[in-house]
Amino acid sequence: MHVVVNAAMSVDGKLSSRRREQIAISGPDDFDRVDQLRADSDAVMVGVGTILADDPSLTVDDADRRAARADRGDPENPARVIADSRIRTPPDATVLDGRAQTYLLVSEAAPPDFIEEMEDAGAYVIAAGQDRVDLTTTLAKLEGDGIDQLMVEGGGELIFGLLEEALVDELFVYIGPKVIGGRDAPTLADGDGFIEDFPEPELAGVERVDDGVVLHWQF
């Protein structure tokens, strides 16, 4: 499986404010670049923190891109993947609207009645890991289900979890013209943070987009 992370951050490295509400950091051209990345992926993944904060659709906006996917025999939208250790995803979340297959990655601590509720809401549940989703095992299961190209949109906890398990192949970061600040605002990689063996990706590209810049890193 090839894992591509994409996120937009402020000048000072924040994905959102301390209120954890969705903030438009990207401009129109960057959102269009992200839509193309989604269209090129077999699945788009976020953590449950992003579901609760943003209630995203994770679908492809552009009708021509959806049609191109259908023409090559793919579903119009990539599958959606949510990392949600104990199931906090609401049954009425937009990702459960039936517009694409939705996988819910949970841990063994997920309550069985919640699992049943999610399956009734249309999710395909994969469980691995004691208290927290075992990302290596669950991503391998997704690969076995035909997901070769996985795009990850955040947030910071999930991105750190993937970096910690050395699961990230490429990272695109849009840095937009905003300063958000706040010690409790989410950043690109949160979690516990590294204290040694810091991942050291190679810079593969720099492109000016809208009033900001996209950095492309390879691991």
Ligand X SMILES: Nc1nc(O)c(N)c(N[C@@H]2O[C@H](COP(=O)(O)O)[C@@H](O)[C@H]2O)n1
Ligand Y SMILES: NC(=O)C1=CN([C@@H]2O[C@H](COP(=O)(O)OP(=O)(O)OC[C@H]3O[C@@H](n4cnc5c(N)ncnc54)[C@H](O)[C@@H]3O)[C@@H](O)[C@H]2O)C=CC1
| Binding stretches for ligand Y (CB under 6 A) | 7-8, 15-16, 20, 22, 25, 46-50, 53-54, 83-85, 132-133, 135, 153-158, 161, 186, 190
- According to DSSP, the β-strands at 149-152 and 102-106 are unpaired
| 45 belongs to the binding site for ligand X (CB under 6 A) | no
| 41 belongs to the binding site for ligand X (CB under 6 A) | no
Give the Cα separation of 164 and 173 in Å (integer). 18
Q: Is 90 exposed, middle or buried (0-12, 13-18, 19+ CB in 10 A)?
A: middle
Q: Taking CB within 5 to 8 Å according to partner kind, which of ligand X, ligand Y, none is near residue 161?
A: ligand Y
- Give, rounded to a whole angstrom, the gap between the first and last alpha carbons of the chain: 14
Alpha helices in the chain (DSSP H): 28-39, 48-54, 63-71, 112-120, 135-144, 156-164
| 107 belongs to the binding site for ligand X (CB under 6 A) | no
Site string for ligand X, 153-172 (x = CB under 6 A): xx------------------
CA–centroid distance for 18 within its chain? 20
| 23 belongs to the binding site for ligand X (CB under 6 A) | yes
Considering beta carbons, is residue 13 or 137 the nearer one to ligand X? 13
Contacts with ligand X, residue ranges (CB under 6 A): 8, 22-26, 34, 46, 50, 54, 56-58, 153-154
